[in-house]
Amino acid sequence: MNRTLLASLLLLPAALCSAADTHAALPLWPKGAPGSEARAAEPETTEGSNVCNVHNPSITPFVPAADKATGTAVIICPGGGHSKLCLGHEGYALGEWFREHGIAAFVLKYRLAREKGSTYTIQDHAMADARRAIRTVRARAAEWHIQPDRIGILGFSAGGELAAFAAMTNDPGNKESADIIEQQSSRPDFQALIYPGTSGLFDAKKGMPPLFIAAGYSDRQDISEGMATLYLKYKAAGVKAELHIFANAGHGFGYKHDAKPTAASRWPTRFTEWLTDSGLLMQ
């Protein structure tokens, strides 16, 4: 056998193992999510970097080494119209970027309310997954070198809805629960909405987590103008907010490490600057 081919074959298992480890998901409930226990073992389906048929919600950690950790963490909620999860440019790529910058990131796979045949709803199932993700990261903060008061949530498009709702409605946790995760607060310490949908349902009130917004001028009117309206709601409520509407962007720009340098493609840098200015990131 050709020596080069033999060497490649010998290295293949290690390469596959490395790829699997990179995107190893941690189920949010050890016995399956409430209401989905019977389907917890059902395999997800993939098409490219998109995932469907999620019945065992999970988080995929991107945790920096202890000596590079800033103590800040972000749960990332990918978009996909609640019918799929766009885990490429709205998930794993950003998780890797955050890890490289000392920020722990956790990509959430949540149940899909608008997938064909789905019996799930956004408020009863997808939001339960988002809140459980926040509680999980807070419960394991010491293990992942995270400060429990610097845990935020970020969402794209449909995932932005989850981030906004998590900031709007949360609880301090059930201290009487036997589950240490359920004892934790589901309140995010900050929120980032990246071209989120359903902006008309978002509200602001005093005491809500500070807000970072990024959207495109050429996006749908309810998003581009809706984000400007939401910013004003936050200002009226006395909650710090920062708004970026990029003049030459539309919907779905996400994050790609090899994207052409533009103002919109650099939004993660603006976000980390905002975290630093807000005292939420100690670099």
What is the extent of the structural domain holding 116?
A: 28-277
Distance CA 35, CA 124 (A): 10
Total domain count for the chain?
Answer: 1
CB atoms within 10 A of CB 219: 21
φ/ψ of 113, rounded to 5, equals -80, -20
Distance CA 169, CA 34 (A): 19
Residue 202: give its domain's CATH number: 3.40.50.1820
**96 domain-assigned:** yes
**283 domain-assigned:** no
Tens-level pLDDT at each residue, the chain (283 residues): 444 433 333 343 333 333 333 479 999 999 999 999 999 999 999 999 999 999 999 999 999 999 999 999 999 999 999 999 999 999 999 999 999 999 999 999 999 999 999 999 999 999 999 999 999 999 999 999 999 999 999 999 999 999 999 999 999 999 999 999 999 999 999 999 999 988 788 999 999 999 999 999 999 999 999 999 999 999 999 999 999 999 999 999 999 999 999 999 999 999 999 999 999 998 7
Distance CA 132, CA 32 (A): 12
Residues 6+ positions from 140 with CB-CB distance below 8 Å: 146
The DSSP string of 76-121 is EE--STTT-EETIIIIIHHHHHHHHTT-EEEEEE---TTSTT----
